[in-house]
Chain A
Amino acid sequence: MAIHDSRSDRAYYLVNYLVLGIFCALVLYPLIYVLSASFSDATAIANNEVYLWPVGFSTQAYQAIWASPRLLIGFGNSVLYTVTAALIGTTLTVLAGYVASREELPFRRVIVVFFLLPTLISAGIVPLYIVIKQMDLLDTRWAIILPTAMSMFQVIITRTFYQINVPKELVEAGRVDGANDFSMFFRIALPLSKPIIAVNLLFYGLAQWNDWFNAFLYTSNPDLSPLQFVLQQLLAESSVSPSMMGSGDVAAILAKKELFDKLKYAMIVVAMVPPLIAYPFVQKHFVKGALIGAVK
């Protein structure tokens, strides 16, 4: 015989589901709207006729995107950069975070402060450009990945994670059993760091996926452009700024406007889908890892 929920329990669930349902709708509606708008006729969007479902169903926008070779190249590039940046960033961060967490490291504080310096004082765009140029990295794939390969924010989270999860006692126990520094890291610390590795992979991957600025500043070869930079270009080329109204050709303005209306929503969908697919797989680690690292 089933146990009936008490009245207060039922009320609790009702309110609970109601609140969660409203919250869910709030989050879901923009996504559905963007998706519907991307399949709608441009005129319907201009006249504000799209509310929930596509109006005047059309796949024109996706055809236009598919027909643009730069977008496909960009997509491939983005996947490559995202994977590479996630791996490089995570490796560097885990190494730095672990070392910075070990109290017996000489000059630990000095090293950490040194790490922190660039987040406090940054040289700005022009000196960075000159550095990249003098390292002969301009117009290479490395220029897109390396300048933002490691984030101090991630290193600090990772260091805190190790301070909590690999405490001094554990290290001393390892020492007694004859582990040297390398086996300490590879056989004790690393197997314990799955959550923080997942967090790092996700953060670095996402940051790289969303970034267009490195490509903008350091490359001129369109074949190297990641997807976000291609989208940024399309957006820039299709936007009409008020100043153009004063001097521009109407034909130019019209051409831009048409392109913009056609592409804007489909572009969002294209850029949004891959992280949306990847998110659930990393999410369980993500919440755990970010929280653990953040507590202290």
Chain B
Amino acid sequence: MSQADGTTPFTRRSLLKASAVGTSALAVPSLLGACSSSGSDSGSGSDNTNGKAPLELPADATDGPTYPSPYVGPRARDLKPFGDGSTTFKIVVPTDATVVGSWANNKATAYFEKLTGVKIQFQEVLTTASDGSTDLTKVNAILSSGDLPDAFMGIPLTQAQVSLYGQQGAFTAVDDLIKVYAPAARKMFEEVPGLRALNASSDNKLYQMPGVNDCYHCRSSQGRAWINKEYMDKVGGQMPTTTEELRQLLLEFQGKNPSGKSGFLPFTAGQGNPLDNYFMQSFLYSPPGSNTGGWLRLNQGKVELTARLDEWREALKYLNQLNKDGLLTAQAFSMTGAELQQAGNTGRVGFSRSYWWGSFFNPVPLDANALWRDYVAVPPVKGPSGVNYSQWDYYSYSTGPGGGLVITSKCTKPEVLVQWADYMYDLRSIMWAYDGIYESNWWWGDKDQKGINGKGALFRDKQWPAPAGMSWNQYAPMYRSIDFRGGQQVDPKAPTFEAGLWAAGEAYKPFAEPQDMQLPPLIIPDDSAATQADIATSVYQAVSVGLSNFSLGKKDPNNDADWQAYVAQFDAMKVQDYLDIYQKAYDTRPK
């Protein structure tokens, strides 16, 4: 890494890459230094729990909301300040001028200082590159220089980084502290059984106060498709249930042009909206993929690559057929987001393989008769052999360090920060942190109103994100369970997206693959991280090029030689080593 930096001292990419791989060679010695210098006074944290009886959850607050029934999630309780203000804790947080504004002068900051009695000094760090991707250059500099703060909050470190730095002694393990100081976190772990395992490090210790943000529709959003129901009515079609019905409907679209506009696109997809997320699911369960990994699933506990299975070939044959029909063209791979939105805005989209309405509309106005409201989610269609999965993500509820708190070994009173984080899991705190001022931007739900899940409303808000300077956006440790998010009140007169997206989630839920087929997020150990990253890039190349070549007829999926050549590529790039890395990480994952 020092060599890479030597030639290009100021490229953030090079450092980013190095950090994505796990760590930088430079980071290691100083981190160990940080460990040896302060490891003795805080250690694993267990010293601070000696002799103290576990704290109990306080009683429910009398001025809290009415909870829908059944309800699993955060509750508003009578919290008393516990800090004496003697220590000011330094916490590194992401810069967010548009929502948080100045962290020091933020209204939620003042609220939490009063609520907990703990004084926090925030250090703002930009963690996003100008293309919106994560950029941890500065965080890595802070970590490597040994200039550690007391904690990092909302900083999107990867689980691999937390695991590695944690074991090197830069972060404090919090398991023992949670047992004593964090009753709300204990309740959360009880209610969300998989949460701890998803956030534990490879030494099976927990080096962070994790977050839960359980967005129901997000669990299927990667693999959704949308269709215009007005156009469907116009051609006399019905919601397709099989791949063949879908094809027939698209052909109707093509033949009759229900939009009446020139340049009508019966079928769309594009960059950032890959075809396989939806279409493969009619042939086999295949998770999404990118240049950092993916297309891996579990088959009886064994990791396998879906993109070289025979069912994948069957799916390619179907896509190839759509190409022969003139429905699927090169545009389905090349269309940019902006082009797709221009087509959507002018009503020229019939069917779209994309994330949500905003993928093919810009802006997405909230008018009752806005064009986007015509589009409904198409539940996974059955393939010839009767398969239809919905690419359900069972693990997306965990925010990781990007919505949690990582306490460093520099912190001399980690128990205070653990309890501070525990107060963040309270319902009222969650609302303050993410939605701003009570009775200014949010209220408890009205008694006779419904939430987006159709049960009683838990809370309602005026706008999200809250006006600048009022909230902490989504950076604090949170416990936004599925029932909590479902309890967001819907105004029947001015429906937003949430209720429609919830409905889309409901439509996909019945087709979820069995949970033991999904490969959970894993921590790739540092010594295999480079191999993993290399092969992942090659796999991505081969799969995406193969997908477009076979779909567009440049290669013939019916021709055995073409298929054999495609499959042989994976052996050439040592994909077995790649699978072995994942298999090992899976078998030894924290439980």
Which A residues fall within an 8 A CB radius of B? 42-43, 46-48, 68, 70, 121-130, 133, 138, 213, 216-217, 220, 222, 229-230, 232-259, 261
- How many residue-residue contacts, CB under 8 A, span A and B? 154
Other-chain residue from B27, B129, B345, B355 in contact with A47 (beta carbon distance below 8 A): B345
A258 adjacent to B145 (CB under 8 Å): no
Closest Cβ neighbor of B131 among chain A residues: A239
Whether B346 lies near A251 (C-beta < 8 A) is no
Which residues of B line the A interface, CB within 8 A? Answer: 1-2, 5-6, 9-10, 12, 15, 24, 26-27, 95-99, 102, 123-126, 128-135, 137-138, 140-142, 144-145, 147, 215, 218, 221-222, 272, 288, 290, 338, 341-342, 345-346, 355-356, 358-359, 362-364, 393, 396, 464-465, 474, 496-498, 501
The answer to whether A240 touches B132, judged by C-beta atoms less than 8 angstroms apart, is yes
Question: In the complex, are the beta carbons of A126 and B144 less than 8 A apart?
Answer: yes
A201 to chain B, nearest CB (A): 23
Contact A245–B355 (Cβ < 8 Å): yes
* B27 to chain A: closest residue by CB: A126
CA gap between A229 and B464 in the complex, in Å: 26
A-B contact pairs, 29 of them (CB 8 A): A43-B363, A46-B363, A47-B346, A68-B97, A122-B9, A123-B6, A125-B140, A126-B27, A126-B144, A130-B145, A133-B145, A213-B12, A216-B126, A217-B137, A235-B130, A236-B128, A239-B128, A239-B130, A242-B290, A243-B290, A245-B359, A246-B393, A247-B218, A247-B396, A251-B498, A252-B474, A257-B363, A259-B98, A261-B363
Chain A residues in 8 Å Cβ range of B125:
220
Interchain CA distance A237-B272 in the complex, whole Å: 19
Q: Is the CB of A250 within 8 A of B358?
A: yes
A236 touches B129 (CB 8 A): yes
Q: Are B145 and A126 in contact (CB under 8 A)?
A: yes
Instruction: Name the residue among B27, B125, B362 with the largest chain A CB count within 10 angstroms.
Output: B362
Residue of A nearest to B93 (CB): A220
Beta-carbon contact of A250 and B356 below 8 Å: yes
Pick from B24, B129, B138: contact of A217, CB under 8 Å: B138
A68 cross-chain contacts in B, Cβ below 8 A: 97
Q: Is the Cβ of A124 less than 8 Å from the Cβ of B363?
A: no
Contact in complex: A245, B272 (CB < 8 Å)? yes
B138 adjacent to A251 (CB under 8 Å): no
Q: Closest chain B residue to A71 by CB distance?
A: B97
Kindly name the residue among B123, B130, B341, B356 whose own CB sees the greatest number of chain A CB atoms within 10 A.
B130
Q: Which residues of A contact B288 (CB under 8 A)?
A: 246
Question: Do A127 and B26 touch across chains, with their CB atoms under 8 A apart?
Answer: yes
Q: A222 touching B102 by the CB < 8 A rule? A: yes
Given A125-B10, A126-B140, A237 and B98 contact (CB-CB distance below 8 Å): yes
The distance in angstroms between the C-alpha atoms of A248 and B10, with both chains bound, is 30
In the complex, what residues of A have CB within 8 A of residue B26's CB? 124, 126-127
Expressed in whole angstroms, the Cα–Cα distance for A144 and B10 within the complex equals 14
* Closest CB in chain B relative to A98 CB, distance in Å: 27
Q: Which residue of A lies closest to B142 (CB)?
A: A129
The answer for the CA separation of A250 and B338 in the assembled complex, in Å, is: 17
